[in-house]
Amino acid sequence: MSQGLRLGPIVEEKPVKITLELSSILHAQLSEYAELHARETGLAAALPPERLIAPMLERFIATDRGFARLRKR
């Protein structure tokens, strides 16, 4: 398991396709994260950066206490 990365193994689910624009800086950071994620989780090769976006958003939403609090209202 990773020591420093918050994103764990990627679970396959049925995707919903959306179009998203990212800055070139963010895309480069996602690519670097994908390389580090592969090393930390034992993947043979890095996932494409776009595969990280949904799990990252899921993790963000799952840990956003304000969102959870407002949903309960």
Classify residue 52: in a domain, yes or no.
Answer: yes
Classify residue 51: in a domain, yes or no.
Answer: yes
Q: Domains in the chain: how many in total?
A: 1
Is residue 19 classed exposed, middle or buried when 0-12, 13-18 and 19+ CB atoms within 10 A define those classes?
A: exposed
Q: What is the reported pLDDT for 6?
A: 79
Task: Match 């969102």 to its residue by tokens.
Answer: 67
Q: What is the reported pLDDT for 3?
A: 61
Classify residue 66: in a domain, yes or no.
Answer: yes
Classify residue 15: in a domain, yes or no.
Answer: no
Q: In the 3-class helix/strand/coil scheme, how is the chain assigned residue by residue?
A: CCCCCCCCCCCCCCCCCCCCCCCHHHHHHHHHHHHHHHHHHCCCCCCCCHHHHHHHHHHHHHCCHHHHHHHHC
Q: What is the reported pLDDT for 46?
A: 96
Domain coverage including residue 44: 24-72
Classify residue 31: in a domain, yes or no.
Answer: yes
Classify residue 61: in a domain, yes or no.
Answer: yes
Classify residue 11: in a domain, yes or no.
Answer: no
Task: Match 């193994």 to its residue by tokens.
Answer: 9
Q: Return per-residue pLDDT of the chain as tens, 73 residues.
A: 446 777 888 888 888 889 999 999 999 999 999 999 999 999 999 999 999 999 999 999 999 999 888 889 8
Q: What is the reported pLDDT for 27?
A: 96
Classify residue 9: in a domain, yes or no.
Answer: no
* pTM (2 d.p.): 0.75
